[in-house]
A and B are shown apart, each in its own frame.
Chain A
Amino acid sequence: MLNFEEEVAKFSPSTEIDRATENLYDSISPDVADILEELLSKSDKRKNPQGNRH
């Protein structure tokens, strides 16, 4: 049977158009390249304090 409150909780608010680009880059999750870059930078820091992907 249906649990009304549970179902309602599954609905999330939609992004308002005026706020579409707010915190845009923060909302983008890191991909594999980002993870590898972070790993590399940590490794470089251990080996060499200067390290830059770009």
Chain B
Amino acid sequence: MICPKCGAALTSKMTVCEKCGYDAEIIIKAHKAACYFYNKGLERAKIKDISGAIGFLKRAVQLDKDYIDARNLLGLCYLAVGEAGDAIAQWVYSKSVSEHNPLADRYLGMLENNPVKLNHYKTAIRKYNAALEQIKQGADDFALVQLKRAVSHNPDYVKAWQMMALIYIHNGDYDRARKSLKRSLKTDIANAVSLRYVKLIRDIKFKNLVMDVSISDGETDQDVKDILEGKTRQRLTPKFSYSEEGPDYRVFISLVSGILIGIMVVYFLVVPGVKQAMNYDMVNKEKQYGEEISGYLSDMDSLEKENESLQSKIDLQQMETDGYLEQIDSLTNKKFYGNVLEAVNYYYKMNADGEGTKLEQYLLRHKIEAITEDELKAGAAKELYDMMLKAYPDVLKAEATGTELFNAGKELYEKENWQEANELFLLSYQESPDNEENLYLLGRTYELLSDGANAKTYYQEYLNKFPGGKYVATVQKWMDAAE
């Protein structure tokens, strides 16, 4: 505060100017009142009653226009409700009052250093002003579009929300109006305009309810008029058709009837169709199966016929086989020991393992050479003999060394095939009679085949030929036991 006469600084404790003596009481009281309004404004601002705060702060700066704190706070309140232009004006003036004004510097810097935010404020204000022009020209829809854009740039723009609510109320869209007002009250909780519109919507909705006022028996229209004019204390008995919502049985009934109708539709319309489709399907499948079955039956007939012809062939072959068997029987019955039979058996066994090896052919040769001329005369022996020679033309020239025979025999001996091993040891003995081990194993295989006589013969020969041999003790032991 400064003295209006001399310009000296005044404090709130003074009543007169100390420099010129001017009675400064009025100025000081004005300043005190300004402080009071500033405090009130601050209180309101703290509880987000921005419009209330603005009202008090405006009065504070009216009383003391150089009240820096009030101007700074007023600028903040303007910014809070989206009035950025007014906010900047307050801070700029506040700065002009006092160079040392850190708060004003900070608030102005806040906007200058954030150009994006500043642009949003600018655009929002521009859209709002454009909407105001359009609404005055009757273009409510365009104005609504502009206002929506304004609040998208600055969601705290209270006036834009209020104008949107006004347009919605005018168009009868009370729900949207209420939402817009709710949003504006979020920023400025006690804004008088917003609250007034909210009450208006509530009143409109209440009046839209149907109200019947019934007059009790005995009351006339004049009585009603008197009551309404307050000439009598008698009361009208209003009967409200609007009442608290109770359970709505109609919904339940319509639900149940809907379900029943649905069931009936399904039963009478859908099920027969499905059944018909299933029947048709079944008939088709029966026809298909019938065709398949007849096909199978004809296949069976042809297979049976084929079976019959095959059976007759089998019978014929069986007869031929029987013929051969008879001949074979004849051979065995004659008890030739079956040299032919033995050779033929060995021949088939050779061929069962593939083509006979050199050693096997050598063995076959021995078996063939064992067949006598008399044996060849019997039955199919000659044919079988010719068959073997035809299969192995060089069989009678087959050769094998004593060692080869011995090794093959030993292999069979180790597999406990005593009979075949014995044959090979015998053939090997004929080729190499001085093979000690061969002579011993020949006797051993006879022993294992329970041919004691041959075993003794070859064991004795072993003892004679090899008195210091490897198997002397074993052979001697057997010889002693055999005696």
Contact surface of A with B, Cβ cutoff 8 Å: 1-2, 4, 7-8, 10-11, 13-21, 24-25, 27-34, 36-37, 40, 53-54
Known: A14-B86, A14-B128. 14 other contacts (CB 8 A): A14-B83, A14-B159, A15-B86, A17-B84, A19-B85, A24-B92, A24-B93, A28-B93, A29-B65, A31-B30, A31-B63, A37-B4, A40-B4, A40-B5
Contact A31:B4 (CB < 8 A) given known A11-B159, A17-B125, A20-B86: no
CB neighbours of B122 from chain A (8 A): 16-18
Most chain B CB within 10 A, of A17, A24, A34, is at A17
Residue pair B64, A15 in contact (C-beta under 8 Å) = no
Interface 1/0s, chain B 145-182, versus A by CB < 8 A?
00000000000000100110010011000000000000
Residue pair B166, A53 in contact (C-beta under 8 Å) = no
With both chains docked as a complex, state the minimum distance between the C-beta of B42 and any C-beta of chain A, in angstroms. 19
CB neighbours of A53 from chain B (8 A): 2, 4-5, 7
Residue pair A7, B86 in contact (C-beta under 8 Å) = no
CB neighbours of B121 from chain A (8 A): 17
> A9 CA to B114 CA in the complex, in Å?
34
The size class of the interface chain B forms with chain A is 35 or more
> A6 CA to B204 CA in the complex, in Å?
18
> A44 CA to B93 CA in the complex, in Å?
29
> A36 CA to B170 CA in the complex, in Å?
49
Residue pair B170, A4 in contact (C-beta under 8 Å) = yes
B363 at the interface (CB under 8 A from A): no
Contact A33:B128 (CB < 8 A) given known A2-B169, A20-B88, A21-B88: no
Which of B1, B30, B85, B163 is close to A16, meaning CB atoms less than 8 Å apart? B85
> A53 CA to B6 CA in the complex, in Å?
6
> A10 CA to B193 CA in the complex, in Å?
10
CB neighbours of A2 from chain B (8 A): 166, 169-170, 200
Please give me the residue from chain B that is nearest to A38 by CB atom. B4
> A54 CA to B220 CA in the complex, in Å?
81
B27 at the interface (CB under 8 A from A): yes
Selected A-B contacts with CB under 8 Å, 29 pairs:
A2-B200, A4-B166, A7-B166, A8-B132, A8-B136, A8-B166, A11-B132, A11-B159, A13-B132, A14-B82, A14-B85, A15-B83, A15-B89, A16-B126, A17-B88, A17-B118, A17-B122, A20-B85, A20-B88, A25-B93, A30-B65, A31-B30, A32-B27, A32-B30, A32-B63, A33-B30, A33-B66, A40-B5, A53-B7
With both chains docked as a complex, state the minimum distance between the C-beta of B81 and any C-beta of chain A, in angstroms. 10
> A13 CA to B132 CA in the complex, in Å?
7
> A3 CA to B136 CA in the complex, in Å?
13
Contact A17:B200 (CB < 8 A) given known A33-B1, A33-B30, A34-B65: no
Contact A32:B92 (CB < 8 A) given known A2-B169, A11-B159: no
> A27 CA to B117 CA in the complex, in Å?
26
> A31 CA to B475 CA in the complex, in Å?
152
Interface 1/0s, chain B 18-40, versus A by CB < 8 A?
00000000110010000000000
With both chains docked as a complex, state the minimum distance between the C-beta of B121 and any C-beta of chain A, in angstroms. 6
With both chains docked as a complex, state the minimum distance between the C-beta of B193 and any C-beta of chain A, in angstroms. 8
B312 at the interface (CB under 8 A from A): no
Q: 8 Å CB contacts to A: which residues of B84-127?
A: 84-86, 88-89, 92-93, 118, 121-122, 125-126
Which of B4, B7, B92, B166 is close to A36, meaning CB atoms less than 8 Å apart? B4
B332 at the interface (CB under 8 A from A): no
> A21 CA to B62 CA in the complex, in Å?
19
CB neighbours of A19 from chain B (8 A): 85
> A7 CA to B135 CA in the complex, in Å?
11
CB neighbours of B118 from chain A (8 A): 17
Please give me the residue from chain A that is nearest to B65 by CB atom. A31
> A34 CA to B66 CA in the complex, in Å?
11
